[in-house]
Structure 1
C-alpha cells in the first residue's frame, strides 16, 4: 500500500491507498468505523483475514480498503480489464448488487470495471460483461459456479477473494459451492472471510480455505449494536397484528422494515397493511429479481414507507434512513435477531428495534436476548389516544411550518377568510389531514412488566391478577367521572366484553371511556365529564343492562344480587345477553324424542 507521504498526518485516511482515499473523502467520511480502521493496519500485509464485525459496520468499504494494494499495487489505476483480479462472494442477490455499487464509487478513481453474476438475472448479459473484461467480479455462489463450469469465468488471475456474510452462506447450504469456486482460484491468492459471528462452521471453513489467517474482531461481544435501542412489546396472542399496525403509526420513522418467518406471513401482513392505507412493499424468496429490485427502489426513493420481508430476502440490504425494525415473529436464535436488527443503526446512525411478543412467547424472547447479550426495555403497545395525539402534533407542526401565501395566493386566501372564516377553514384542514392517516387499532392494554416477571402466558388468572390497573383505552380524560360495574376478576371480567357493555348501557362510544380498573369483585371505569350526567341517567333506565348486573356512580354500588354470584359459581363464564336454553331442558327434550314406543 502506498501510504500518505506525510508521516505525521493524523488523518484516518493516511494509510489508505490514495486511489481510494480521495473517493472516501469526497463521499463525506469524517472518520472510519472500527472495522475500516482495522483494515488500514499495514502489518497485515498480504495475509488472509478472518474478520468478525457487526452488521452495518461498513464492511464493504472495509474489505475494499483491505484488498486495494493487492489488486492495484502501487499504481493509481487499473490496467486494461482482462481476467478478473478480485472476487467478492455474497449470499444474496441484493447484497451482491449493493456491494457492486459500493465498490464502484470506492474504486471510481482507479477506473475499475465490475461485473456481477447473480441468480435471477440474464446469464447472457453476465457472460457478455465477463467477455468484455472485469477487474472485480461480484456474485452469488450458485451463479458463480455456473459461469465457471460453462467456461465463462476464469479465476486463474485472481489475487484476492472476499467471502461476505460467510455465516449466512453456510446457513443457506452454499459450502460445496464455495469450496468449488475457491478450488478454481490460485492457491497463492488472499482470502478474506467476513462474518458477523465466528462459530464452529465458520472456523472450519476458514481452516479449509485460508492459510494462517489473522483473526480480527472489531467489536466486543458485549457491545453488539450499540446504536440500536431494543424494545419488547408484550401483547395478547390475538392482537399481534394490531400491535404491529399501531407501532408503525406511532413513529416518525421515514422507513420501517418488518420481519416475518415465512413467505405466507409476508404476503398476509403486506395485504393487511396495504388495506389499512400504508405505502408498503414486500421482499421474499419467491419474488422475481425485478420485483425485489423495484421494491427496494420504492423504499429508497420514498414511494414506500414499510417493507415486509423474510430473513433471507432482506439479508445484507442497506436502506437509507431506516431507523425502525419490527420483529413480527420472535427470532428463533440470536444470529437471526442480530442480522435482522442490523438493518438499522448502521454506520453510526441510531435505530430502534421493536420485538412484538405474544404473552406465551415471553420466555423465548428472554432467552434469545440473553444469548445475544442484549438488553431491552419493555413498553406498552401504543393505543388510540397515543396515535391520535401524534397525528394532531404533526398537523400543528405542518401548519406552523407552512410558508406564508405567495403573490398568487394572497387574494384567494383573503377571500376564503372573508367568506368561510378561520375556524371552518381550520376544521376542514384538520378533517382532511386526519382522514389521510390510517385508523389505529384498539388494543387491550397489558401491564408493563419486565421480561423477568414470572407470569406464565398460559396462566390467565395469574396474569389478570397482576393486571388490575388498566391503561386508558380511550382519550386521556382530565376530569373523568368514575362509575362501578358489579363484575370483577372472580367473574373473569375482561375489557373485551366489559367495554361494549359499558358503552351500550349508557349510550356512549369507546372514546368516551377512560381508564378501566378491574378489582376482585367489581370494576371501576371513567366516563368523560361532558357525558357523565347523561350516562348516569341512562343506566337507571329499565333494560339498559343484563339482569343481575349493576352500574352506579363510584361509591354508590349496592350489594350485588345473589343470583349473579350464583351464576358465576356455576359456570364461571361472563354474562350473556341471550342466555342459552337450560341444559336440563335440552337433555329432557332429547330423551323424550328418542324414547321408544311401547310394543302393542
Structure 2
C-alpha cells in the first residue's frame, strides 16, 4: 500500500483490518490513468470490489482528510439487493469512520420514516437499492444536486432484476458533472449500452484473473442418485464441518423443504428467500455471524453479494441456470485469501448440464462421489484426536479426572468422551452406489448400442406403461444415465428393456423399481416378433393386382362371390345401405362422396368403362306426359282452416295433437324425402 497515495484515515482503517497489500482490482482503480475518470470495472466476486470503489471515490468526496459538513449527499452507491446494500454500508462505514462519514441507507423493507430522518440530518454517503432510492427522489426526501460520485455495484444483476428504468431515473436526477463508476462481474451488451449512455470516456478495467479459475476455490462435482440428493448434502456438511456453509436452491419452496429436513436432522440452519421480511433476513444473517447457525439455505437473489465470516463451503443443491450464476454462488467462499470449496450435486439427468456450466465458467472441477457414511465417521474419528481439549494444559479438573479413571477405567472414560463427541452431531446417511462420471460418453452410431442385457418389467400396455415414464425410474434405481439404456419395447402385459452389459450388474437378478413394479433379468433375448394379423376375407393384394384389366388405369376392384357375401342386413326390406348389401343381397349404390379410384365400384368402372352420370331429379315432377314440366297446382285449403293460413297446408285435425297425450300413433312422415 505504500506505492499508492491514500488519505491517512483510509490507510489507518485498512491497516486496522489487516490489509497488508491491495488486491488487483483495488490497485487498478488507484492507478494514475484512472484518476478522476469514469470507470467500467469487471472483476470476479470476492476480489474486494467494495473496498475498491470506496478507495476510488475518496479523491472526489474528501476535503483533505475529512468529509465536508454538508446536508446533501456527496456519494451514492446503488446495489441490487437489501443484503448487499447493507453490506456495502458496513464496509464503507469502517473505511470512512476516521474521516467523520455519516452514512444513510435506503433499502426496501425498512422503515421509510427512519430513512427520511437520516437523510434530513445530513449524510455524505447514501447506499440503497434502486426502487427505494427512486421512491425518495420522487417524494423529495433525497436531493442529488450536490452529488460528486455515483457507484453501481453488481450492475449486471440490477439489469437482470428489471431495475433499468429505476437506474435511468436516478442517473438522470444526478448532475452531469458527476463521476460514474460501474462494477460488474461480467459486462454483457446491456451493461455496455448503459455505460455509453451515462458515462463519459469511461476507462475499461478488467481485473487480473477474471478469465481464470479462482485459485482459492476448489470446485467439486459429486455424482449422486436422485433419491440420495438430500442425503448427499447432509453427508457433505458433516464431512467438512465448515464454520459456515451456504446451500443454494432454485426456488423458495425448495428452500423451505430443505430447511425442514435439516431441522429434523439436527443441523443449525437458517433460510434466506424473497418471501421473508427484512427483519427476518437480518436476524438470519446475524445468527450466522454470531455462530448460532452454521448453515444458510438461500435462493440466488437473496444471497446475492452477501459476505459471511468463515464461509468455507458452498453447495449447489440445484444447479444454477448459467455459468455466471455459478461463479457468483461460488464467490461467496474463498474471499480475502481464505480457502473454500464449491460442490455441485449432480444427478444422472444433470451430467451434461453440469459439464456445460463448468465449461462456460472456465473452471475445472474434480468429479467424484459424495462422502459415504463410513467416510464421515472416519473424519469424525480424526477430529476427535485433534480436539484442542486433549492438548490443553490441565487445571483444577484433575481431581475429577482421577475419580473417573478410578471408577470407570481409562477405556470407559475414553469411550464416554467419544459418545459425547458424536451425540450432538447428525448421523451420517447411507448412500447408494453411483457411477463416477468423467468425460461425456463417445457418440455411437445410430442404431448401434453394443453389448447389452435384456430385462423384463411386469407392466405393459394394460398398465398404461410408457417409455418416458419408465426411463427415469430405471435410471434412478440403478444410478445410470439414459445413455446406458438401449431399446424399450412395451408389449401387452410386460415391457422389455435393454441395459448396457457393463452396468447390468447394478440391477442384479431382480429389482423393485417401486412398490408393485419390478424388473427381472432375462437369460437371453426376448421374443419381440409382432403377432400375426388375422386372415383377410378377400384375396391378397398381389392376386388382386393380377386381375386388373389390361390397358386400364383403374385400380382392381373386389367382386365378392356368393359364398363371400356378408350376412343379410337387419335393415327393413327395401331400405338400401350405402357400402353394404340389402337383405336381397344386391350390391348397394356407391355413395356420392366415395372416390372413383378406390372402394367398391360398379361393373362399368371395374371394366374400365366410363360410368354413366346419374339422372338428376327435376325440381318439379310432372303428373303425366301432357302436363310436361308445369308445376303442380297448390291444394285448396280445407274447410275450417284458419284465416291467413298458407295454401296447400292442411290444418291439424281437431282433438289430435302432434306430440304428447292424444298424439297420433302413426308418425307423420314428410311428403318428400330430404335431399342427400
Does the 8 Å contact 1:115/1:138 carry over to 2? yes
Find the counterpart in structure 2 of residue 159 from structure 1: 148
Deviations 1:513-551 (A, max 9, x none): xxxxxxx99xxxxxxxxxxxxxxxxxxxxxxxxxxxxxx
1:458 matched to 2:482: yes
Show CA shifts across 1:219-251 (max 9, x none). 344314232111001111221111111111111
Distance 1:488 1:58, change over 3 A: closer
1 CA distance for matches of 2:99 and 2:424?
49
Residue of structure 2 in register with 1:21 after alignment:
11
Q: Counterpart of 2:71 in 1: which secondary structure?
A: coil
> Who wins on radius of gyration, i.e. which is larger?
2
CA contact (8 A) 1:52 1:196 kept: yes
Structure 2: gaps of 5 or more residues = 444-479, 487-498, 529-676
Deviation of residue 80 (structure 1)? 1.4
The Cα shift of 1:433 comes to 2.0
Aligned to 1:348: 337
Matching residue of 1:333: 322
In the alignment, which residue of structure 2 is the partner of 1:102? 91
Three-state SS of the structure 2 residue aligned to 1:379 is strand
Structure-2 change in CA distance of 1:433 and 1:40 (3 Å): same
Matching residue of 1:222:
211
Of residues 37-46 and 279-288 in structure 1, the stretch that sits farther from structure 2 once superposed is 37-46
C-alpha distance in structure 2 between counterparts of 1:382 and 1:302, whole Å = 25
Distance in 2, matches of 1:466 and 1:90, equals 53
Please, which runs of 5 or more residues in structure 1 have no aligned partner?
A: 1-10, 469-486, 498-519, 522-563, 572-600
2:433 corresponding residue in structure 1: 445
Deviations 1:19-62 (A, max 9, x none): 31221122211111000001111222211100001111000110
Q: CA deviation at 1:496?
A: 11
Q: In 1, are the aligned partners of 2:131 and 2:166 still within 8 Å (CA)?
A: yes
How far apart in 2 are the matches of 1:295 and 1:331?
23
Deviation, 1:401, is: 2.8
**Equivalent pair of 1:54/1:219 in contact (CA under 8 Å):** no
Residue 122 of structure 1, aligned match among 86, 111, 122: 111
Structure 2 match to 1:36: 26
Selected match of 1:202 from 158, 174, 191? 191
The offset of 1:252, in angstroms, is: 3.3
State how 1:1-80 maps to structure 2 within 5 Å.
Answer: 11-12=1-2, 14-73=4-63, 75-80=64-69
1:119 is paired with a residue whose SS is coil
Deviations 1:359-418 (A, max 9, x none): 1110111111111111111011111110111111222222763535422x2222222211
Separation of aligned partners in 2, 1:220 and 1:454: 33
How big is the shift at 1:431? Answer: 2.1
Query: What secondary structure sits across from 1:223 in the alignment?
Result: coil
Residues 2-30 of structure 1, C-alpha deviations (whole Å, 9 max, x = no match): xxxxxxxxx44532233312211222111
**Which of the residues 351, 357, 360 maps onto 2:349?**
360
Residue number in structure 2 paired with 1:425: 413
Please report how far the alpha carbon of residue 466 of structure 1 lies from its aligned counterpart in structure 2 after TM superposition: 4.5
Other-structure match for 1:237: 226
Residues 12 and 37 of structure 1 are in contact (CA less than 8 Å); yes or no, is this contact kept in structure 2? no
Q: 2:87, 2:195 → 1: CA distance?
A: 24
Pairing of 1:273-284 with structure 2 (within 5 A): 273-284=262-273
| Structure 2 residue corresponding to 1:491, chosen from 499, 509, 531 | 509
Whole-Å Cα distance in 2 between the matches of residues 216 and 248 of structure 1?
38
Aligned CA distance change for structure 1 residues 196 and 152 (closer, same or farther; 3 Å): same
Q: Distance in 1 between matches of 2:501 and 2:311?
A: 39
User: For residues 115-173 of structure 1, what are the alpha-carbon distances to aligned partners after superposition, in whole Å with 9 as ceiling and x for unaligned?
Assistant: 00000100000000000000000000000000000000000000000000000000100
Shift of 1:565: 5.3
The TM-score with structure 1 as length reference comes to 0.75
Which residue in 1 is equivalent to 2:373?
Answer: 384
**Counting helix residues as a fraction of each chain, which structure ranks higher?**
1
Q: Who is 1:182 aligned against?
A: 171
- Could you say if the C-alpha distance between residues 378 and 466 of structure 1 is closer, same or farther in structure 2, counting changes exceeding 3 Å? farther
Q: Which moved more, 1:388-397 or 1:321-330?
A: 388-397
Cα–Cα, structure 1 residues 310 and 219, in superposed 2: closer, same or farther, change >3 Å?
same
Aligned-pair CA distance for 1:346: 1.2
Do 1:221 and 1:373's aligned partners in 2 also have CA atoms closer than 8 Å? no
Does residue 410 in structure 1 map to residue 398 in structure 2?
yes
Deviation at 1:459, TM superposition (A): 4.0
Counterpart Cα distance in 2 of 1:198 and 1:296: 29
RMSD, matched Cα: 2.5
- What is the distance in 1 between the residues matched to 2:372 and 2:439? 21
Give the number of the structure with larger relative contact order, counting CA–CA contacts within 8 Å between residues 6 or more apart: 1
- Secondary structure of the equivalent of 1:181? helix
1:309-338 per-residue CA deviation (whole Å, 9 max, x = no partner) reads 000000010011111100001111011111
User: 1:179, 1:241 → 2: CA distance?
Assistant: 43
SS at match of 2:211: helix
Q: Deviations over 1:198-222 (max 9, x none)?
A: 0111111111111111100013443
TM-score (norm 2): 0.67
SS at match of 1:420: helix
Cα distance in structure 1, aligned partners of 2:353 and 2:118:
48
Native 8 Å contact 2:13 2:98 kept in 1: yes
- Displacement of 1:181 in angstroms is 0.6
From the superposition, tell whether residues 405 and 348 of structure 1 become closer, same or farther in structure 2 (CA, over 3 Å). closer
TM-fit CA distance, 1:569: 6.7
Provide the rounded CA distance (Å) in 1 between the counterparts of 2:442 and 2:430. 27
Distance 1:249 1:16, change over 3 A: same
Query: In structure 2, what is the Cα distance between the partners aligned to 1:348 and 1:403?
Result: 29
Return the offset for 1:440. Answer: 1.1
Deviation digits for residues 547-578 of structure 1, max 9, x if unmatched? xxxxxxxxxxxxxxxxx959x9799xxxxxxx
Contact between 2:78 and 2:128, CA under 8 Å: does it hold in 1? yes
CA 1:120–1:251: 2 relative to 1, 3 Å:
same
CA distance in 2, matches of 1:244, 1:228: 18
Tell me which residue corresponds to 2:386.
Answer: 397
Provide closer, same or farther for how the CA distance between residues 565 and 43 of structure 1 changes in structure 2, counting only shifts above 3 A.
closer
Q: Aligned partners of 1:171 and 1:12: how far apart in 2?
A: 39
The answer as to whether partners of 2:213 and 2:364 remain within 8 angstroms in 1 is no
